[in-house]
Amino acid sequence: MIDRRTLLLGTGGALAVAGTLTAAAPVVAAPETPAELPTRNPLVEQRADPFITPPTDGMYYLTGSVPEYDRIVVRGASTLDGLSSARERTIWRRPATGRMGGYIWAPELHRVDGKWYVYFAAGDKDEPFRIRTYVLESSNADPRADGWVLRGQVVTHLDTFTLDATTFEHRGKRYFLWAQNDPAVGSGTNLYIAEMASPLALRTTPVRIATPTLSWEVQGFRVNEGPAVLIRNGRVFVTFSASATDARYCMGLLTADENANLLDARSWTKSPNPIFATHVPTSQYGPGHNSFTTVGSLDVLVYHARDYRDISGDPLFDPNRHTRVQRLHWNDDGTPSFGVPVGKGGPIVRLTTLDGLFVRHYEYRMRVDGNVRELADSQFRFVPGFLGSGTVALQSVNFPDRYVRVDGDAIRIDPFEDTDAYGRAASFVRVPGLADSKAISLNVGANSYLIHDRGRLVVASPGNDRDARRRATFRLG
């Protein structure tokens, strides 16, 4: 038997799988995280409802709800990863009495016409749940600087529970998008949109574009809240969060054509199922209240989640909703592909064939396919091999207790076993690609490699056959 700690550290001698692997084989370095995309998870602890700006003058800025619900904070860094340790500044604190003296929730930081604005929800001292939306303004270039001015409440069509406001520009118009209760509709919150006359006021009558009606939107509470906007591929996408703020919290998606009238409720279509939800294998519970940013050409999903399911008392006052980030992918049809909340670990990769097919698992068997909509089935982490220095193992992202394993003619992702046999069957030597030195190949012993064959992933010896060497070569992305 081998010690699990030893396995995960990748110590030990050479290893044999269907032959003899030698650690002296040329090993490709671990993949770099693309364009400074962080791998740490969480990025920032105890910051719920996270909002990270797009890169602005070379900086990212982060704000979010603090567990005390008593102030608004901002931190900044030149990279997303740098936000983890960046100094945090309090730019505004609630008054001791009266209006806005209650809970302070979900601030968002936006740069509009050369000024910074923070939209946030606040209750009153004697009525902390009398939540309304307010706005702060700053003329400073750096939002962490002093000089923020309270501009007052953003008035909507109803004087009711109002929160989670965001703003975006599209086709020369600026819009306001938020969650609000309408007693005529019922309990809970709906999503509304209006055109803005200025960063401080609405121009048009609000339009309701989403109401919680589906089973996954009404768990614990009837909730549509936390909208976030991403305009890509000819469409306007709005993610939102639903249900109670425990492990049932999840994210839904609204879609409108980019040429549609965004102020017409008929322009919006709600996806029938949640697009991001609790994933027990990665120990990520209640993901939601997201925002989006970018790193280079990559879109990045920002969200909060907990590392545990069970909560004592009201989940609203459990402090451990942590800020997390992961890459957002796109399907062939131009729709976003969220995968699962990935949990802890190092860089995540997707392996593609030279023909553009994805290496993935299906029913725990390894294969290659095109247009894999189940994103997490095609995501892996390279970790140290189990029995040899210079070897690697491929860990499944959505089932992190499983690794790619060779078992005769079958290649599967199998649960970890603390045995030499498992270590031998789940470790490989990663070498420059047989058909493209910028890609990789995975040596399985002697002259055998992982190779794809008519949709299956198998072990074979490509020899000098040009086609076989192409099929044993995979790009990382």
Q: Is 8 helix (H, G, I), strand (E, B) or coil?
A: helix
35-337 adopts what CATH topology?
Tachylectin-2; Chain A (2.115.10)
User: CATH 2.80.10.50 spans which residues of the chain?
Assistant: 4-32+347-476
* Annotated catalytic residue, options 124, 164, 217, 225: 225
User: CATH 2.115.10.20 spans which residues of the chain?
Assistant: 35-337
- The strand pair at 440-445 and 132-138 is best described as unpaired
Separation CA 39–CA 30 (nearest Å): 13
Q: Given this model, what pLDDT does residue 23 score?
A: 38
Would you say 77 and 97 are in contact if contact means Cβ atoms under 8 Å apart? no
Cβ of 234: how many Cβ atoms within 10 Å?
A: 9
Q: Is 393 helix (H, G, I), strand (E, B) or coil?
A: strand
Q: Given this model, what pLDDT does residue 36 score?
A: 64
* Annotated catalytic residue, options 49, 108, 182, 417: 49
DSSP 425: H
**Residue 390: left if φ>0, alpha if ψ -120 to 50, beta else—which one?**
left
Strands (E), 218-297: 224-232, 235-242, 250-257, 269-270, 285-295
Q: Among the CATH numbers 2.80.10.50, 2.40.10.10, 1.10.1380.10, 3.40.50.1820, which is that of 4-32+347-476?
A: 2.80.10.50
Say whether 49 is catalytic: yes
Q: Given this model, what pLDDT does residue 388 score?
A: 75
- Predicted TM-score of the model (pTM): 0.92
Q: Given this model, what pLDDT does residue 3 score?
A: 35
Say whether 225 is catalytic: yes
Q: Given this model, what pLDDT does residue 165 score?
A: 98
Residues 14-56: tens digit of each pLDDT: 333 333 444 334 444 444 445 567 778 899 999 999 999 999 9
Residues of the chain with pLDDT under 50: 1-33
Q: Given this model, what pLDDT does residue 40 score?
A: 81
Q: Given this model, what pLDDT does residue 17 score?
A: 38
